[in-house]
């Protein structure tokens, strides 16, 4: 599902216009991104938690040349699915034989 399909699904479930649903989806995504960028956490009970995590500096290798590289420390976004979300996905995968669409 891409963003436009998500907007259509929200519009259908809420009986909103696609334009209103688009604004709502955009506002939710923007709010999550702003909050995580500030270093705060967004927890949606039953769905999951969005947060930022610090990744330590490390060394890596260029796969073509084998040259050792220094990879700088970074702060990256992360998502941890909630139990209800995990259970729903597991139950759905069991019904469909675990195959992706």
Give the helix ranges, DSSP H, for the chain: 3-14, 18-37, 83-96
Q: What is the average pLDDT across 73-85?
A: 96
Q: Does residue 3 have a pLDDT over 90? A: yes
Query: What gap in Å lies between CA 26 and CA 97, rounded to an integer?
Result: 33
pTM: 0.78
Q: Where are the domains of the chain?
A: 1-38, 49-101
The domain 49-101 having CATH identifier 4.10.520.10: the answer here is yes
- In 10 A of CB 36, how many CB atoms? 21
Cα of first residue to Cα of last residue in the chain, in angstroms, is 10
Instruction: Express each pLDDT in 13-56 by its tens digit.
Output: 999 999 999 999 999 999 999 999 999 999 999 999 999 999 99
């Amino acid at each position: 599902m891409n963003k436009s399909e998500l907007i259509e699904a929200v519009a259908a479930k809420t009986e909103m216009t696609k334009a209103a649903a688009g604004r709502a989806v955009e506002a939710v995504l923007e709010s999550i991104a702003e909050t995580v960028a500030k270093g705060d956490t967004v927890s949606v009970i039953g769905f999951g938690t969005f947060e930022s995590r610090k990744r330590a500096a490390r060394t890596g290798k260029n796969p073509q040349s084998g040259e050792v590289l220094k990879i700088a420390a970074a702060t990256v976004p992360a998502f941890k699915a909630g139990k209800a979300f995990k259970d729903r996905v597991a139950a759905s995968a069991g019904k469909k034989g675990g195959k992706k669409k």
